[in-house]
Structures are given as structure tokens and as C-alpha cells.
Amino acid sequence: MPWQVYNSAGQLLQATDLPDNAVTNAKVANNAIDSAELVAGSVDNAHLADDAVNSDELAAGAVDLAHLSATGTASSSTFLRGDNAWAAAGGGAVAHEGSQTTDAGTTSTSAVDLLTVSSLSIAATTHIWAAASVRQTANTNRVVGFGMKLNTTVISEAESSYNQSDLLWVGEQSVAISGAFLMHMGSRVANFLDGKTRMSSRAKSSVILDLGMSLRAENNMPTATITDVVTRAVCTATAIAGAADEMHVYTLAVS
């Protein structure tokens, strides 16, 4: 049973009967005071020992973005770097600018636009890659040729002559065949307006029949901002059909 102290009048001693500072640390038993006796907010930073609070005392999710000391602004387009700064993510060396993924075909004997990747904005100093999958149906001694246009300028015209190995892509006579091309267009600056090359393949029964690099010079590439990249096609006769699909346009970083 705890001790009870009475005053000289036989009354039980109350806290109000104690003079100020009468109860010192030496008179408080160890562990006599716990959190139940503490007034909310009574323990401030000044009363916490250095390193007294570590991750064990933090509830999950207790530290939100507002409580981070990082510089910069947190957003959906930034990340927290190792130097404790919010920064925008850096771009890669190759950027995907646009695509046209709807299969389009033709039997025209005059060169026509087949697939267009539009709404672009590519500066003259930027290198461009354009790629597409292409195919033709089978017809005796007939082929389909493909070309390319930047904005309204034809830089590699579609022709249906099988003997022209320097076209963007041309099929195989008398057989159904598919393939792909990749066109690389360099910076479109003065004295460098024909800086383009291509890689193309034609495959039949999983055997590559042709891989070309050279590209016939047509019109110079335009120096204006590129807004449209167009795949063109032409057929030797209406009895054969050509088609293109999955056209994609990329740019290369300039620095």
C-alpha cells in the first residue's frame, strides 16, 4: 500500500500543499512517469536527445513529400536525384516522334502517298530515322516499288523497276514478298541537303534476298521544319498490289 502523508491538522497532504520545486528528480522513482502523465505537446525538440528518434519510431508513411528537404519541385515529370534535388528526367539518344500503324495498300501504276506520319515538328539540324514494313502480292514479272516524301518534297521516288537497286524498297518479280526499310536523313542544312541513306531487306521463305545501303539522289531534302513523313508506292500493273504498315519516325539527339 502506498504511503499517505498527513499535515499537522490531520489532513491528507495534497499537491497544493507542496511548495514550488519541492519535488526534485531525486524524489521521483525510476519509471514513475510515463506517456500517460505527459501533456500533449510537452516534449519539444529541445527536450529530445540527439539521435533519440530513428526509423523504428516512425510510422509507415509518416514522412511525406512535404517533409523532405529536397530542392526543386516534385511532380509527375521529375524524380529525386542522389544529391537530394528534384530534377526532370533526361531524354534518350533516340526519341519516337510519331507513327502510322494502319495497313494501307495500292494497285496504282503512278506513285501515290501510302502512309503518312503527320503532326511532327522536326528542326533542320535534327537527324531523322523513318522505318516501315512493306509487302507485295505475286504477279508474273510485276513488282512494287516504294519511296519517301518529306512534307511535300519527294526525296526518293517510288519506282517499279526491278533493276533499280538504289530505290528505297522494291519487291521480287512474280512472287509474294515482304520486307522492311529504314531511311536515315541527316541534318538538312546548307550544302548537306542530300545526306540520306537506307537499309532495306526483302525476304522469301525466311531467306534475305537483298540488303541495300545506297539511295538514288532525287530532290534535295527541304530545310523547313518537317511536319510530315510519307511512304509512297507504285505498282508495275494494277494486277499486283503493294502495301505498307507500322511506319515509325524517330529523331536522334543533337547533344
Average pLDDT, the chain: 84
213 against 147, higher pLDDT: 147
| Per-residue model confidence (pLDDT) at position 240 | 95
Q: Read off the pLDDT band of 57 (50, 70, 90).
A: confident
Q: What is the pLDDT of residues 118-153, one digit of tens each?
A: 999 999 999 999 999 999 999 888 899 999 999 999
pLDDT exceeding 90 applies to what percent of the chain? 40
| pLDDT in the model for residue 216 | 65
Q: CA–CA separation, 105 vs 244, rounded Å?
A: 6
* Residue 10 pLDDT greater than 60, yes or no: yes
Mean pLDDT of the region 85-114? 91
Listed by start position, the domains of the chain span 94-252
Taking the whole predicted model, whether its pTM rises above 0.85 is answered as no
Please report which residue ranges of the chain form alpha helices under DSSP H.
Answer: none
Distance CA 158, CA 137 (A): 17
- Looking at residue 96, its pLDDT comes to 94
- CATH for the stretch 94-252: 2.60.120
Q: What is the pLDDT of residue 209?
A: 52
Q: Worst-scoring range by mean pLDDT, 49-58, 103-112, 140-149?
A: 49-58
Q: Which residues pair with 210 in a beta bridge?
A: 202
Q: Which of 44-58, 69-83, 144-158 has the lowest mean pLDDT?
A: 44-58
**Confidence grade of residue 204 (pLDDT, cut at 50, 70, 90):** low
